[in-house]
Amino acid sequence: MSEPRSFSAILNMLGLLGFSSVLAVAFYYQLALGELPCPLCLLQRAGFVAICLGFLFNMRIGERPSHYAMIIVASLVTGFISIRQVSLHLAPGDPGYGSTLFFYTWALIAAVGVVCYVALVFVRKDVIGKRGALDSPMSGPASNAVFAIFACFIAANLLSTVLECGAGQCDDNPVRYLLLK
């Protein structure tokens, strides 16, 4: 395994693990602190899942510019959703939604950060002369474990969203799980 391939593989695995941890923090706030996600929060979670899928595709199928494009598009959409939510709570005296962590503000920062990260990946590839190079898929216990963690978070998010919203539209300010009343 060449150094650039192994470095890229590790970065993709860390990207998947990092954004899976963002989903874990959101779940912590939902389950431990009882803060149910609003519809915009659920859309941001879906954006993080799409970002994770780009990293996962790079790991499992091999690095491709189209996978990075998926990460960038998902990041931009997630960022715009976050900007919308931040702008809803800019009025003086508005308490915001949820705790003081303001997950949606951190979601915006993370979305901008991942776009910058992908730009640096492309610059790095250009500098080392691997502009069109495609890395092969990554396999092994570490990548399988990271994939399993991500898959569990997708399943948990799907289940909690169905419990919260049922088959219809979610409440704007949810206070209970619709299907658990």
- Helix ranges (DSSP H) in the chain: 3-31, 39-60, 65-88, 103-127, 141-165
In the block, tokens 């979601």 appear at 107
Q: Report the alpha-carbon distance of residue 80 to residue 172 in Å, rounded.
A: 18
Which among 178, 119, 150 is positioned nearest to 45, based on CA atoms? 150
The predicted pLDDT at position 1 comes to 41
Sign of CA dihedral 102, 108, 114, 119: negative
Digits of tens for pLDDT over the chain (181 positions)?
A: 444 456 788 889 999 999 999 999 888 889 998 889 989 999 999 999 999 999 999 999 988 899 999 999 999 999 999 999 888 888 787 777 766 557 888 899 999 999 999 998 888 888 887 655 556 677 788 888 999 999 999 999 999 999 999 988 988 888 889 888 7
Instruction: Count structural domains, the chain.
Output: 1
State in Å, rounded, how far the first CA of the chain is from the last one: 54
Q: Report the alpha-carbon distance of residue 179 to residue 103 in Å, rounded.
A: 25
The model's pTM: 0.87
The predicted pLDDT at position 2 comes to 44
The predicted pLDDT at position 4 comes to 46
DSSP state of 178: G
The predicted pLDDT at position 134 comes to 59
Q: Which domain holds residue 131?
A: 3-180
